[in-house]
């Protein structure tokens, strides 16, 4: 895999080189009117100065070890360093599906001890919603997040309720492959550096998500390291954005935007916290529809057809019969 060296804020990073062009994600002070406008328009922006999780800036592996308590944490392991999400509620309908990662529950102390070992054959990624099992100092830090700004941003943009804060602790080199989420996300970086590759929802045609009933629903089928352009020809037209988030940065990651996230080498484990919000309710449909709305429509139609047919094997021929020679 070819690599290239990029310079971000006088820091150099060696990153994987992909086949598609990218532009820089805007990087603005969180109080800059331009930043507020981008969020209002559902456009990604890296925000500086918000101190959204300023009270957690001292979080490192040692501090978390001493203060996260003895609760169980979900840790994924992967031989190739890729952590493609899969919905285990969809495993029953997909008996032949082989999960690409293994999932183990362990205490944070066990996880930290594994991080220290030099004989790890697999990369590990802890992904756990912050819950009431954490110690009092973590609760204090959590309480002191910049909720004033977060709540104001949620309100101004008519987002729905916040659903979860996921704590992410990744080894250098872990990759979350390209996918989209159906929630708004204020992504707060605490330690280490993550490269975000983002793609507008209108790039749906280039990303070839798995069928909606597949465990990898919302994930791209395309292997970015070795794209199969026979099977996925439009991937050759992909255009994206990219940026590196470091400690104290917050990325506004709009709903339905595709993203691939890479924990960069040379700066230690990455620690991040997500702030996920349900979508703003659609009060009045305004035309033209946004690209995100069109993805939502496609998803709903695909869901309805899958439910109506009640037989996933018949989906491909049904969907093709609907468009082939008619809309192609």
Question: Which residue's beta carbon is nearest to the bound Zn ion?
Answer: 181
DSSP H/E element including 15 = strand 11-16
Binding partner of residue 168 among Zn ion, ligand QVW, none, CB cut-off 5 to 8 Å per kind = ligand QVW
Q: Which listed residue (48, 128, 220, 274) binds ligand QVW by CB under 6 A?
A: 274
Question: Which residue's beta carbon is nearest to the bound ligand QVW?
Answer: 176
Q: Which stretch binds ligand QVW (CB under 6 A): 19-27, 40-48, 94-102, 180-188?
A: 180-188
- In the complex with Zn ion, the residue whose CB is nearer, 181 or 302, is 181
**181 contributes a contact to Zn ion by CB under 5 A:** yes
CA gap 171, 187 in Å, rounded: 18
- In the complex with ligand QVW, the residue whose CB is nearer, 48 or 219, is 219
User: 182 to each of 71, 122, 127, 226, 256, how far by Cα in Å?
Assistant: 28, 30, 18, 27, 6
Binding partner of residue 272 among ligand QVW, Zn ion, none, CB cut-off 5 to 8 Å per kind = ligand QVW
Contacts for 315-323: CB closer than 8 Å, 24+ residues apart: 315/211, 315/213
**191 contributes a contact to ligand QVW by CB under 6 A:** no
Binding partner of residue 261 among ligand QVW, Zn ion, none, CB cut-off 5 to 8 Å per kind = ligand QVW
- In the complex with ligand QVW, the residue whose CB is nearer, 123 or 296, is 123
As given in the structure block, the two tokens for residue 228 are: 């199969």
Q: Which stretch binds ligand QVW (CB under 6 A): 16-24, 103-111, 181-189, 297-305?
A: 181-189
- In the complex with ligand QVW, the residue whose CB is nearer, 252 or 306, is 252
**187 contributes a contact to ligand QVW by CB under 6 A:** yes
Distance linking the first and last C-alpha atoms of the chain: 35
CA atoms in the 13 A half-sphere facing the CB of 265: 10
Beta strands in 134-254 (DSSP E): 162-164, 166-170, 175-179, 184-191, 194-199, 240-245, 250-253
Residue 105 Cβ vs Zn ion, minimum distance, rounded to whole Å: 22
Using an 8 Å Cβ cutoff, are 280 and 157 in contact?
yes
Alpha helices (runs of H) in the chain, residue ranges in sequence order = 33-40, 61-67, 108-116, 136-143, 147-156, 204-207, 291-309, 315-323
Binding partner of residue 127 among ligand QVW, Zn ion, none, CB cut-off 5 to 8 Å per kind = ligand QVW
Binders of ligand QVW among 118-147, rule CB under 6 A? 127
**87 contributes a contact to Zn ion by CB under 5 A:** no
**Strand, coil or helix: 221:** coil
Residues that bind ligand QVW (CB under 6 A): 127, 166, 168, 176, 181, 185, 187, 194, 259, 261, 272, 274
Residues that bind Zn ion (CB under 5 A): 181
């Amino acid at each position: 895999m070819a690599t290239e060296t990029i310079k971000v804020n006088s820091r150099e990073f060696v990153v994987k080189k992909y086949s598609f062009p990218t532009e820089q994600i805007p990087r603005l002070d969180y109080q800059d009117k331009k930043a507020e406008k981008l969020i209002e328009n559902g456009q990604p922006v890296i925000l500086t100065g918000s101190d959204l999780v300023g009270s957690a800036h001292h979080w490192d592996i040692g501090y978390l070890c001493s203060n996260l308590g003895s609760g169980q944490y979900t840790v994924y392991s992967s031989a190739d360093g890729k952590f493609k999400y899969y919905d285990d509620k969809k495993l029953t309908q997909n008996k032949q599906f082989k999960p690409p990662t293994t999932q183990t529950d362990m205490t944070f102390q066990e996880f930290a001890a594994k991080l220290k070992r030099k004989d790890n054959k697999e990369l590990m990624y802890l992904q756990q919603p912050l819950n009431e099992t954490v110690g009092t100092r973590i609760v204090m830090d959590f309480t002191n997040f910049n909720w004033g700004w977060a709540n104001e941003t949620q309100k101004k943009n008519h987002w729905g309720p916040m659903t979860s804060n996921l704590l992410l602790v990744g080894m250098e080199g872990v990759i979350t492959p390209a996918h989209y989420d159906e929630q708004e996300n204020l992504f707060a970086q605490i330690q280490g550096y993550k490269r975000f590759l983002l793609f507008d929802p209108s790039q749906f045609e280039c990303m070839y998500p798995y069928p909606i009933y597949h465990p990898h629903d919302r994930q791209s089928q395309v292997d970015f390291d070795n794209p199969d352009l026979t099977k996925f020809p439009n991937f050759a037209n992909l255009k994206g954005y990219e940026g590196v988030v470091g400690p104290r940065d917050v990325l506004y990651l709009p709903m339905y935007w595709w993203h691939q996230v890479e924990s960069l080498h040379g700066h230690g484990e990455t620690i991040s916290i997500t702030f996920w919000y349900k979508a703003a309710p659609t009060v009045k449909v305004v035309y033209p529809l946004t690209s995100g709305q069109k993805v939502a429509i496609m998803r709903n139609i695909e869901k309805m057809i899958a439910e109506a047919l009640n037989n996933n094997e018949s989906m491909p021929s049904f969907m093709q019969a609907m468009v082939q020679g008619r809309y192609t």
